[in-house]
Amino acid sequence: MTSAMLTSPAVTVRAPAKVNLELRVGPLRADGFHALATVYQAVSLFDEVTVRASEEWTIAITGTCALGVPADHTNLAVRAAQALAAAHGIDEPVEILIEKDIPVAGGMAGGSSDAAATLVACDWLWGLGSSREELAQIGAELGSDIPFLVHGGTAIGLGRGEVVTPVLTRGTFHWVFAAADVGLSTPAVYAEFDRLTADRDVPEPTASTGLMAALRSGDAHALAGHLGNDLQQAAISLRPELGDLLADGLSYGALGGLVSGSGPTVAFLAADHEGAIDLAVALTASGTVTHAQRATGPVHGASLRGVPRVD
């Protein structure tokens, strides 16, 4: 390692998880993706991504959810950093460290969020000054959820999910996430959706106006009535126990619940902070789940943590 690298700044970015408040899935497109109309919300479960200059491209994963995450150049975070470098003609490898606390293959876009955070971190490290929109465009080539995780907040996602527009919301919503021990593959869940809908025409997807009104009002009870996920039936078909988990959460006082994205994490909406604590305790004390994590939304997209340090 050169002395310049020893003194190079380490940039740390917080990468939030997401939940899809509504996920409407349309027909399979010619490019292998489905047309979507989805409403994303970034929530306060975070991975942390740290980058610093290095002699070669490397990645290491730590944290409670590190198991099974590829620590090699196939990792979306490395591919995102290399795509940003290529777009700017940069030849400066980085070391990427990811502290992973977002469930893997859980339907919460942890891998996409790490990629979004890596774009923000490398942009700072290389002094590029890109806009969020420019980073989102690079991210869109690598994954449909990445543009949203660059922006964060609450947003509607069209196209295959990558065309994002912010949505007005009021207040804070309180969530409890019940993650499964074993993840579900996103392509497998979409393939199951295709199988379950093979005998009918799938219409072009639209997000509901009722959901937008509930978000504007900040009323969790109203929001609960508009949560919906067209992939839920497919996820339950592959993991029937998710149906029981949803029913249990509602019986323990959740205002609403749905499979998050392609699952298998189940997201429950609580009335308030205390309601979320009660629900998380009930879910774990009853043995329904081993872990129930509370989080609030909306939160910012991938964000720098404080002033980058030199060590």
Binding of ligand C5P by 144 (CB under 6 A) = yes
Q: Judge contact between 75 and 60, C-beta under 8 A.
A: no
Only one of the segments 95-103, 140-148, 217-225, 268-276 lies at the binding site for ligand C5P (rule: CB under 6 A); that segment is 140-148
Spatial distance between the Cα atoms of 92 and 94, rounded to a whole number of angstroms: 7
Only one of the segments 58-66, 142-150, 245-253, 282-290 lies at the binding site for ligand C5P (rule: CB under 6 A); that segment is 142-150
Q: Which of 186, 232, 288, 293 binds ligand C5P (CB under 6 A)?
A: 186
Three-class SS of residue 78? helix
Binding of ligand C5P by 22 (CB under 6 A) = no
Spatial distance between the Cα atoms of 21 and 305, rounded to a whole number of angstroms: 27
Q: Which of 52, 160, 174, 226 binds ligand C5P (CB under 6 A)?
A: 160
What stretches of the chain show up as alpha helix (H) in DSSP?
3-6, 76-87, 110-125, 132-140, 146-151, 186-196, 209-217, 220-224, 232-238, 241-251, 273-285
Residue with tokens 């990427």: 96
Retrieve residue 206's tokens.
Answer: 């639209």
Largest CA distance in the chain: 64
For the bound state, the minimum distance from the C-beta of residue 234 to ligand C5P, rounded and expressed in Å, comes to 11
Spatial distance between the Cα atoms of 246 and 262, rounded to a whole number of angstroms: 15
Binding of ligand C5P by 36 (CB under 6 A) = yes
When the beta carbons of 7 and 206 are compared against ligand C5P, the nearer one is 206
Residue 12 Cα distances to 15, 32, 96, 117, 200, angstroms: 10, 35, 10, 9, 48
Residue with tokens 């065309």: 163
Which one of the listed residues 18, 101, 114, 230 is annotated catalytic?
A: 18
Only one of the segments 66-74, 185-193, 196-204, 300-308 lies at the binding site for ligand C5P (rule: CB under 6 A); that segment is 185-193
For the bound state, the minimum distance from the C-beta of residue 26 to ligand C5P, rounded and expressed in Å, comes to 9
145 is catalytic: yes
Binding of ligand C5P by 48 (CB under 6 A) = no
Binding of ligand C5P by 124 (CB under 6 A) = no
- Residues known to be catalytic: 18, 145
Binding site for ligand C5P (CB under 6 A): 32-34, 36, 143-145, 160-161, 186-187, 190
